[in-house]
């Protein structure tokens, strides 16, 4: 296990705080656009990290920043699909899928935006100090990680809500037990599954991760 040095830990942790804050904000903002003001009324449409702080999830971010495999998350955004009024969200599952997709999409956007100064530095167009370069690479890495991890179709991750919005209603009762035990399944894959569990998670994350990294490296 390769633990990071203090500068790397700070860069990763700061990246997690920023990326997670925007991720959760976009869930709340998209829900409001669908017609549900629940998250807005609870003060979740804000760039204040404390409004999206979840102590156990933050502990996970600290562990990942140190270099220890773990799971981190922000405070879940409450969404009430029965309050959706937008025409797109008349089918509630479709509205929930869009709200869920807004989070990982925001992480992709953050990675791409940070890739602009990174590519300018890499091509010698601009000069940056070592600390700035470390933060940029950490920020891109964290956002790619959050986007690819959240697209895993296991509840409570965003990927499951997206999948449920795509699948026919026939699948809902079949997958219902997974909604109840999804978090336990995630924990088992990460902390009990060993090499097999890690391979399954990485196998699901890899395609999303490669698409984003290709866009970061080749799209500018």
Question: Which are the catalytic amino acids?
Answer: 24
User: CB count, 10 Å around CB of 179?
Assistant: 15
Residue given tokens 């097999």 in the structure block: 196
Nearest alpha carbon to residue 94 among 30, 183, 174: 30
User: Prior bond to 156 cis, omega within 30?
Assistant: yes
State the Cα–Cα distance between residues 115 and 126, nearest whole angstrom.
13
Helices (H), 123-157: 130-150
| C-alpha separations of 144 from 61, 96, 140, 205 in Å | 14, 22, 6, 10
Residue given tokens 């933060």 in the structure block: 135
Helix axes 6-33, 55-66, angle to 10 degrees: 140
Torsion angle, alpha carbons of 79, 43, 75, 209, to 10: 80
Token duo for residue 137 = 């690479």
Strands (E), the chain: none
User: CB count, 10 Å around CB of 27?
Assistant: 25
């Amino acid at each position: 296990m390769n633990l990071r040095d203090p500068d790397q830990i700070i860069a990763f942790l700061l990246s997690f705080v920023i990326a997670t804050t925007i991720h959760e904000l976009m869930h709340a903002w998209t829900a409001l656009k669908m017609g549900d003001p629940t998250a807005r009324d609870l003060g979740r449409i804000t760039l204040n990290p404390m409004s999206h702080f979840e102590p156990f999830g933050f502990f996970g971010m600290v562990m990942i920043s140190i270099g220890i495999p773990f799971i981190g998350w922000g405070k879940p955004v409450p969404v009430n699909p029965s309050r959706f009024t937008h025409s797109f969200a008349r089918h509630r599952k479709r509205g929930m899928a869009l709200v869920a997709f807004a989070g990982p999409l925001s992480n992709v956007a953050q990675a791409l935006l940070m890739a602009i100064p990174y590519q300018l530095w890499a091509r010698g167009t601009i000069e940056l100090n070592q600390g700035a370069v470390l933060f940029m690479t950490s920020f891109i890495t964290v956002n790619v990680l959050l986007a690819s991890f959240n697209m895993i179709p296991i509840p409570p991750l965003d990927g499951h809500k997206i999948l449920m919005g795509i699948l026919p209603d026939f699948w809902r009762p079949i997958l219902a037990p997974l909604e109840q035990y999804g978090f336990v399944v995630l924990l088992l894959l990460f902390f009990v599954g060993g090499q097999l569990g890690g391979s399954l998670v990485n196998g699901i994350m890899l395609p999303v991760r490669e698409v984003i990294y290709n866009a970061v490296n080749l799209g500018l």
